[in-house]
């Protein structure tokens, strides 16, 4: 699954630098997404950055709507279990991506706290226990 850029794009350039995989290209006027490079930002961000930062309503959208409810998707599917697993895999992938982002948020917060404690310790000459 990839994202695509539609005719609603106003060529603001925001998505170009936001894409972590280099999937977005432009000829200076129009923008496009290489479906082979787009991975919906999985492993980088909890949400697709091109869509999140796009100032338009619908300039950057999933190639296939991913926000259909499970019920709606299953009701229209010709192959029930194929559709079920597709929805399941999408949701698992999103959850994993969100956890990845939380992990690094936690890591940076702990790192900052420990750094501040070390600086305080160096200033005061005291011993402070660090958060593991």
Element (H, E) at 3: strand 3-5
Cβ atoms of residues 56 and 21 within 8 Å: no
Q: How far is the CB of 126 from ligand SF4 (least distance, A)?
A: 46
* Strand duo 31-33 + 3-5: pairing: unpaired
Give the residue ranges of DSSP H helices in the chain. 14-18, 49-53, 70-76, 80-124
**Segment interacting with ligand SF4 (CB under 6 A) among 45-53, 90-98, 100-108, 122-130:** 45-53
Q: How far is the CB of 122 from ligand SF4 (least distance, A)?
A: 41
Cβ atoms of residues 16 and 64 within 8 Å: no
Q: How far is the CB of 52 from ligand SF4 (least distance, A)?
A: 8
11 touches ligand SF4 by CB under 6 A: yes
User: Which residues would be at the binding site for ligand SF4 (CB under 6 A)?
Assistant: 3, 5, 9-15, 18-19, 21, 23-24, 31, 33, 38-41, 48-50, 53-56, 59-60
């Amino acid at each position: 699954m990839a994202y695509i850029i539609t005719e609603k794009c106003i060529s603001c350039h925001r998505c170009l630098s936001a894409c972590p995989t280099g999937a977005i290209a432009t000829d200076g006027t129009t923008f496009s997404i290489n479906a082979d490079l787009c991975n919906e930002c999985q492993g980088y961000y909890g949400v697709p950055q091109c869509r999140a930062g796009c100032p338009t309503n619908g300039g950057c959208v999933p190639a296939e709507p991913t926000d259909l409810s499970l019920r709606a998707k299953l009701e229209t599917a010709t192959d029930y279990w194929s559709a079920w697993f597709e929805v399941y895999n999408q949701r698992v992938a999103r959850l994993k991506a969100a956890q990845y982002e939380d992990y690094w948020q936690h890591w940076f917060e702990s790192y900052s706290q420990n750094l501040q404690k070390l600086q305080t310790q160096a200033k005061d000459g005291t011993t402070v226990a660090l958060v593991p």
